[in-house]
A and B are shown apart, each in its own frame.
Chain A
Amino acid sequence: MNIAFAVIVLGVLGALFGLVLAVASKVFEVKKDPREEAILSHLAGANCGGCGYPGCAGCAAAILAGNAPVTACAPAGAENAAAIAEIMGMSAPTGERQVAFVRCNGGTNAVKRFEYVGVKDCISATKVAAGPLECDFGCLGFGSCVAACQFGAMSIGPNGAAVVDPEKCTACMACAKACPRHLITSVPASKKVHVACANLNKGKAAMSVCSSSCIGCGLCQKECKKDAIHVENGVAVIDYDKCVGCKLCTKVCPRDAILPIATAEEKEKYKAIKKAQAEKAAAAKKAAEEAAASSAQ
């Protein structure tokens, strides 16, 4: 009897609260745009914050409000961006997948100014006498970008500079924001040739601080058949719209600052080919001159 009584009282109490909640949900109903849910389902869902909005829900709301482009979520990729564009009634955007790239291959090649023993964090390191490297543009290798990456795509490479795993990278660019030296940029995923140096100094000033620095000599610019690499402000910059990935620049770079670094063998081979070509051209020229001379006689 007692049990039945308790069950009834609590049951009534529960039903009462349930009723109040049911009424409240109607009274306090907030109309939500169903498109927001739809957009949210096409975002990456990692809440990485790479878009600059608080979480994926914030990004979805911003896209719906027109404050963010449909491509705001880089990790979700082009496919999902197209789906979002469809939800928003826009035409699908074009553009290929981007990945992050660290513009420094120095690491242990760079000359150390002093031995830094403080907190293992790049920002902290740069606060001590402008950083432990002689190169003001080099990767410090304390891994602030590695810590910032939610996708496990960043690591400190064998030579002490950060590297990106393009397979895992989603171009959220959280690493770029974490890097105090602004070394990380986004590059098209399909392109394989990159200048791995950001040193704006020229000649000796760049040469003395690191063994793999771009010194702005311009050999790559001369060698490029597609006009795709130029020395700008003392550092070589690749125009990815023109680059075809022939790797000629990597073979002539005296500083090994262009990735993928050509081996000594490849360089020798290319030198030999060039030499042979030059000889052939000289011979042809000589022959043409002789022919011209004999016809004049």
Chain B
Amino acid sequence: MDQITNLLAITLGAVLANNFIFSQFLGICPFLGVSKKVDTAVGMGIAVTFVMGLASAITWLVNTFILVPLDLVYMQTVAFILVIASLVQFIEMFLQKSMPTLYTALGVYLPLITTNCAVLGVALLNIQNNYNFIESVVYGITGGLGFLLAIVLFASIRERLVFADYPKNWDGFPIALVTAGLMALAFMGFSGLKIW
């Protein structure tokens, strides 16, 4: 029971209270880059969720069974980047062969994830928070879902920005950043959330 409560707390924290985009400001670059249309935002969000879950699992294993026993914890960041980059490459090849439809749906976003710092962030946070394997995987997947939620909400607002009446010189990124800031403020409301 304790375990389930704990996982629920991690889930709620990752999706709402400690949302990767809005309260930890990780993964801002794809968040701003691919949020012009809801369709592409959904594609990016799903791809990130997928990779974050897998990366959490593999980096936890690498850390626990390779880095810690060999006393090389200070090389974490380098090792994790190595893992994530090869993982994304591998997934791309795997999908292209076995799930071409998913591959075409994710398209260019799959390789883009290599440079998404939320993925490296989740791997490092797993270690920092002393999560066990299951907790790490849950944190990875739900962190990805939080990213999906944030980018889809943001994309749907950006689509409607066309009809907003704001000064012309705010066109494009300025107004997008203002929107993102206001959304981050709104998500701060979740930080008071308690489930126990």
Interface residues of A (CB under 8 A from B): 5-6, 9-10, 13-14, 17-18, 20-21, 24-25, 27-30, 119
Q: At the interface, yes or no: B6 with Cβ under 8 Å from chain A? A: no
B83 at the interface (CB under 8 A from A): yes
Distance of A30 Cα from B94 Cα, bound (Å): 10
Closest A residue to B74 by CB, please name it.
A6
B78 / chain A contacts, CB cutoff of 8 Å: 10
Taken together as a complex, chains A and B put the C-alpha atoms of A9 and B78 apart, in Å, by: 12
- Between A and B, 29 residue pairs with Cβ closer than 8 Å are A5-B70, A6-B75, A9-B66, A9-B70, A9-B75, A10-B75, A10-B78, A10-B79, A10-B82, A13-B62, A13-B66, A13-B82, A14-B82, A17-B83, A17-B86, A18-B86, A20-B86, A21-B86, A21-B90, A24-B90, A24-B93, A27-B97, A28-B93, A28-B96, A28-B97, A29-B97, A30-B97, A30-B100, A119-B163
Contacts of B83 in A (CB 8 A): 17
**Contacts A9-B66, A24-B90 hold; do A17 and B82 have CB atoms under 8 A apart?**
yes
**Nearest chain B CB to A219 CB, angstrom units:** 45
Distance in angstroms between the alpha carbons of A17 and B96 in the assembled complex: 19
CA distance A239 to B101 in the complex (A): 46
From DSSP, what is the main secondary structure of chain A's interface residues? helix
Kindly state whether residue B89 has any CB partner on chain A within 8 Å. yes
Given contacts A17-B83, A20-B90, contact A30 B75 (CB under 8 A): no
B72 sits at the interface (CB 8 A): yes
Taken residue by residue from 62 to 96, chain B's Cβ proximity to chain A (1 for < 8 Å, 0 otherwise) reads as: 10001000101001001100110010011001101
Quick check: B72 and A9 within 8 Å, CB to CB?
yes
Task: Report if B98 contacts A (CB, 8 A).
Answer: yes
- Across the two chains, which residue of chain A brings its CB closest to B89? A21
B residues within 8 A CB of A29?
97
Please give the distance in Å from B123's CB to the nearest CB on chain A.
14
Name B79's contact: one of A13, A28, A119 (CB within 8 Å).
A13
Nearest-neighbour CB distance to chain A for B45, whole angstroms, equals 20
Bound-state CA distance A119–B163 (Å) is 7
Residues of B in contact (CB 8 Å), total 20
CB contact under 8 A between A30 and B86, given known A6-B75, A10-B75: no
B74 CB to nearest A CB, Å: 8
Instruction: For A18, give the chain B residue with the smallest CB separation.
Output: B86
Q: Are A28 and B94 in contact (CB under 8 A)?
A: yes
- Residues of A contacting B90 in the complex (Cβ-Cβ under 8 angstroms): 20-21, 24
A142 nearest CB across to chain B (Å): 14
Q: B residues within 8 A CB of A6?
A: 72, 75
Q: How far, in whole Å, are A13 and B58 apart by their CA atoms in the complex?
A: 13
Q: Within 8 Å CB of A14, what residues of B?
A: 82
Which one of A5, A6, A29 has the highest number of Cβ atoms from chain B below 10 Å of its Cβ?
A: A6
Nearest CB of chain A from residue B75's CB, rounded to whole Å: 6
- Tell me which residues from 151 to 196 in chain B have a Cβ below 8 Å from any Cβ of chain A: 162-163
Beyond the given A5-B70, A21-B90, please list 10 additional residue pairs across the A-B interface where CB-CB is below 8 A: A9-B70, A10-B75, A13-B62, A13-B79, A14-B82, A20-B86, A21-B93, A24-B93, A24-B94, A30-B97
Q: How far is the CA of A30 from the CA of B96 in the complex (A)?
A: 7
Contacts of B72 in A (CB 8 A): 5-6, 9-10
Contact at A25–B86, with CB atoms within 8 Å?
no
* B residues near A30, Cβ cutoff 8 Å: 96-97, 100
Residues of B within 8 A of A25 (CB): 93
- Bound complex: CA A119 to CA B161 (Å): 12
Contacts of B100 in A (CB 8 A): 30
Please name the residue on chain A nearest to B67 by beta carbon: A9
Residues on the A chain within 8 Å of B97, using CB = 27-30
Bound complex: CA A114 to CA B62 (Å): 70
Q: Considering the complex of A and B, which 8 residue pairs feature the smallest CB-CB distances, nearest first?
A: A28-B97, A17-B86, A28-B93, A24-B93, A30-B96, A24-B90, A6-B75, A21-B89
User: What is the chain A residue whose CB lies nearest that of B83?
Assistant: A17
Nearest CB of B to A113, in Å: 23
Residues of B within 8 A of A24 (CB): 90, 93-94
For B96, the chain A residues whose CB sits under 8 A away are: 28, 30
Q: Shortest beta-carbon distance, B145 to chain A, in Å?
A: 27
A121: nearest residue on chain B (CB-CB)? B162
Docked-complex contact A28 and B163, CB < 8 angstroms: no
CA distance A119 to B89 in the complex (A): 45
B98 to chain A, nearest CB (A): 7
- Residue on A nearest B95 in the bound complex, by CB: A28
Determine which residue in B90, B94, B98, B100 has the highest number of CB atoms from chain A within 10 A of its CB, and name it.
B90
Complex CA gap A24/B96 in Å reads: 11
